[in-house]
Chain A
Amino acid sequence: DRQTLVAVLQFLRRSNLRESEEILRREARLLGDDLGAAALSPASAGLLVGSGSDADSGEALLGRGTGAAAVTIGGSVATVATSSPGVAAVAAVPPGKGGACGYCGVGTPGRGGARVPGFPRGAGTRGSVSGAVVVEDQPDVSAVLSAYNQQGDPALYEEYYSGLKHFIECSLDCHRAELSQLFYPLFVHMYLELVYNQHESEAKSFFERFHGDQECYYQDDLRVLSSLTKKEHMKGNETMLDFRTSKFVLRISRDSYQLLKRHLQEKQNNQIWNIVQEHLYIDIFDGMPRSKQQIDAMVGSLAGEAKREANKAKVFFGLLKEPEFDVPLDDEDEEGENEEGKPKKKKPKKDNVGSKSKKQDPNAPPQNRIPLPELKDSDKLDKVMNMKEAARRVRLGPECLPSICFYTFLNAYQGLTAVDITDDSSMIVGGFADSTVRVWSVTPKKLRSVKTAADLSLIDKESDDVLERIMDEKTASELKILYGHSGPVYGTSFSPDRNYLLSCSEDGTVRLWSLQTFTCLVGYKGHNYPVWDTQFSPYGYYFVSGGHDRVARLWATDHYQPLRIFAGHLADVTCTRFHPNSNYIATGSADRTIRLWDVLNGNCVRIFTGHKGPIHSLAFSPNGRFLATGATDGRVLLWDIGHGLMVGELKGHTDTVYALRFSRDGEILASGSMDNTVRLWDAVKAFEDLETDDFTTATGHINLPENSQDLLLGTYMTKSTPVVHLHFTRRNLLLAAGAYSSQ
């Protein structure tokens, strides 16, 4: 109480509002020492005025001991509010009788002595109050003292937190949602501070009291936090240490921020203000405060939201030009390719396949931005095949849904941990918990390995079918098992030219296997901890891996060390994907953010927050503009890469989404989940009519339409097989894979 009173008087004096000061002092003497030890914040709650120097706002900051007084204060505030049109706050205060603000005898400015702000409230005597005089002459000293004192006064932490809680709860609706974002980071930081300073019992009671108030999506974090009770526990936990040292980003509108700042500074309990300044980064934007719904869509990550500057860099999301072919195509094929190759987007200039468009797509990276391997003859043949298949591709849409062919792995004993299918859908690989990698042939053509060197020297190298002759018929089989890892294999990836296979495992290595000899060629050691995912670049040669050490690495097959290290995530990197133009890498992490990295210089160009659980699947749309992500919270979020905004939310799955894939032309998004279903979503509709005007980009406000039901085109249930992988063939048949689990 005293603190607030003092603060009020300070403020009034500062703003030279003698009259209000007089009133205040008069009222203060009226009530006598009616001090209780109750939290002063109920009354002070929300009574801050948004605009600056209103005299009456000083009166609004009345801390009172008793509840009745709170009403009167409320009353006074109400009058204040009505009388000053510039006041932007406090409709929540109940009206009451005006003018009577009760104080307990504080307050003639003349009383000497520096006030010790950390003074415990229990001692509510007038004498002590008199000691607690305006410190406006020595604000810095008090601030310093308060920091020092409150560092060592853990009993007050609960008071501060509940004080803030009251303030926020009594604030105006429009501000309350935004200010509620403060609860979680403040709670965690205060708790960690208590633990770090070894006040165990206070930490425990603090936790008990307030952990139920947090949002439901933070429950997992809170559970981990509850097991951290001693300082020693914190040392080994890298994620918590990172959380402590990194700034939690909050995006608050200017009005709400002013409200908060005024409250915290004037309340003289600088501890919260210290924490705010030290651990929180408040990204202020001008505009309307956000609603709870908007905020809920965007928060959830371990580091708050993303600063707007983080998403401002230019991203070249266009596709690279396909090379012109000397191979003659029939006219029919060429036309088909141009039509089919055109993305379904509204913007007509996005014609990025081949011959028709001569001008460079401004959003596409220059061809030689990053070095890419040259196109070999076999690659060219492959591309021709691709185009021919594309011509016969089924055009999908809401009326024409793809057929789904499901490959069920039987007798895997819950050991199937990774699946991949080649682009032409000829081979399927499974990584297993018993550290084997098994390759099957999907087509009737069996898998053969190359002959031994001795035999190879005998064949006729000039014959036309030399590629067949080098294969050893004796080794033909449907299944090949590759041994080599010493831990469960968590990620697999075929190379685009089907010569190589990558697998990454819990033993910390990424292995390159040859699919011609079915032997291991290289083991890339760099992560010393489990590697959770790996993927080849769409052009081959480069690959990316991400693991428990919180970084993703870019490798090239002919370098034994990584070329790029992408560090920045606060927790494990669980999913890594290349952009179709191979210039960017998206990584999803257990800290619930997705980051987009530039391959050229390793910078993080986008940070996407909004998921409430670790991310397990990422998919780029074929035209490169959009990214779909799935996490353990069962939601699929859609992001516009160019603007750096969330543009869609697909709700429907009830369990982790492990597989996401866009159809070949981007019309349908398929998602597969642990809840044993595959769902098809209308991607065309989800991406049309996007609100990407300047306001949205500037403020990051998003208005997501609740259209998940409209976008859902179909749900297909398996009996009891979680879907681990999805793949659209070149003709838009959907293949899915999973291991049958008997429970």
Chain B
Amino acid sequence: MEAAKMASPKSAPKDAQVMAQILKDMGITEYEPRVINQMLEFAYRYVTTILEDAKIYSSHAKKSSVDADDVRLAIQCRTDQSFTSPPPRDFLLDIARQKNQTPLPLIKPYSGPRLPPDRYCLTAPNYRLKALQKKVSSTAGRITVPRLSVGAVSSRPSTPTLGTPSAQAVSVSAKVGAPVSLAGQRFTVQIPSSQPAGKSAAPTTPTVQNVLINPSLIGPKNILITTNMVSQGTASDPNPLKRKHEDEDDYDTL
């Protein structure tokens, strides 16, 4: 981007003059000079995206050229994607009415810090410690990690069982990491893709990554695991990546 000096109106390119006029019409009188550049960039990018989408739609409809309908469709699809607007008022009133009917919950006295169930908190550690002793597996290159049971999604503070290295059944919670994957945390969880049988022979590349580990390994806090990983299936296990989909019905993002 050019230096942040505002070009005098006389020598600014036409686009910039138009943008400045638009800002003025909308009542914005004070702005940094780079705002015009940013707005121009946004306008260019938006129009390009729409036109590219329109080209795709038009070619899908086997038309010879892009026409207004294609553009309209492209705009509509993009609007639903990027420029969402808040829910309409009747919808809000409806859910408000539903929510406000339930009485306020009673407060249990003397219950320590009042926090939601652990799975909804951010208090779990977001790192794992690599186990000290090397697992003596026959196949090299595989990281096998003790099986950690996910168990129910309730917040029972049970210590997960540390299975033997050979235990392979893996359960991956369907909505892995959702309660904890807020923007600030950075751990990557790759849900093993569903490649059941084919993998049994391939020893390489474990599809496993950082997970939350039961902190009973680490410290006094006991927090339940929400995700899990997998070790590459051994030959003995035809379906190494068995997934156990939990019923996670109490997610409500509204």
Contact = CB atoms under 8 A, between A and B. Distances in A.
Contacts of B109: 373-374
A558 B100 contact: no
Interface in B105-156: 105-107, 109-110, 113-117, 120-123
Given A245-B89, A520-B184, A521-B123, A601 B114 contact: no
A453 B219 contact: yes
Contact of B253 (A246, A499, A526, A570): A526
A569 to B, nearest CB: 9
A484 B115 contact: no
A485 interface: yes
B96 A521 contact: no
B106 A220 contact: no
B83 A236 contact: yes
Interface stretch (A324-332, A545-553, A633-641): A545-553
Interface in A545-581: 548-551, 556-568, 570
B88 A565 contact: no
Interface in A645-687: none
B75 to A, nearest CB: 8
A372 B34 CA distance: 51
Contacts of B102: 563
B123 A563 contact: no
A80 to B, nearest CB: 48
Given A374-B109, A563-B104, A551 B92 contact: yes
Interface string A374-407: 1000000000000000000000000000000000
Contacts of A507: 183
A549 B87 contact: yes
B54 to A, nearest CB: 15
B249 interface: no
A526 B116 contact: no
B79 interface: yes
Interface in A467-513: 483-486, 499, 507, 509, 512
A371 B106 CA distance: 6
Given A238-B89, A556-B114, A557-B115, A227 B26 contact: yes
Contact of A549 (B83, B92, B93, B110): B92
Given A236-B83, A522-B122, A559-B105, A220 B27 contact: yes
Interface string A191-223: 000000000000000000000000000001001
Contacts of B95: 565, 567
A696 interface: no
B117 to A, nearest CB: 7
Contact of A238 (B85, B121, B184): B85
Given A522-B116, A558-B114, A565 B96 contact: yes
Contact of A602 (B26, B96, B113): B96
Nearest to B84: A528
A458 interface: no
B221 A453 contact: yes
Nearest to A376: B110
B122 A601 contact: no
Contacts of B198: none
Nearest to A486: B183
B116 A541 contact: no
Given A223-B26, A558-B115, A600 B104 contact: yes
B105 A566 contact: no
Interface centre among B26, B84, B120 (most CB of A within 10 A): B120
Given A558-B114, A602-B99, A528 B121 contact: no
B252 interface: yes
Contacts of B106: 371
A601 B100 contact: yes
Interface residues of B, number: 43
B122 A371 contact: no
Given A223-B26, A453-B221, A563-B104, A557 B85 contact: no
A454 B219 contact: yes
B242 to A, nearest CB: 29
B182 A562 contact: no
Given A558-B116, A568-B93, A453 B220 contact: yes
A484 B92 CA distance: 29
Given A223-B26, A372-B107, A522 B120 contact: yes
Nearest to B83: A236
A183 interface: no
B85 A236 contact: yes
A521 B118 CA distance: 10
B51 to A, nearest CB: 17
Contacts of A564: 96, 99-100, 104
Interface string B181-217: 0111000000000000000000000000000000000
A486 B106 CA distance: 34
A241 interface: yes
A567 B89 contact: yes
B86 interface: yes
B254 interface: yes
B110 A525 contact: no
Nearest to A564: B100
B125 to A, nearest CB: 11
Contacts of B116: 522, 557-560
A349 B75 CA distance: 64
A563 B103 CA distance: 9
Interface in A207-263: 220, 223, 226-227, 236-238, 241-242, 245-246
12 contacts: A226-B25, A374-B109, A452-B219, A484-B182, A486-B184, A512-B115, A519-B123, A522-B121, A550-B86, A558-B115, A559-B105, A566-B96
Given A484-B182, A550-B92, 17 more contacts: A227-B25, A237-B85, A238-B86, A238-B88, A371-B107, A485-B184, A521-B122, A525-B253, A528-B86, A528-B254, A529-B86, A541-B107, A549-B86, A549-B92, A562-B99, A602-B97, A602-B100
Interface of A: 220, 223, 226-227, 236-238, 241-242, 245-246, 370-374, 452-454, 457, 483-486, 499, 507, 509, 512, 514, 519-523, 525-526, 528-529, 541, 548-551, 556-568, 570, 599-603
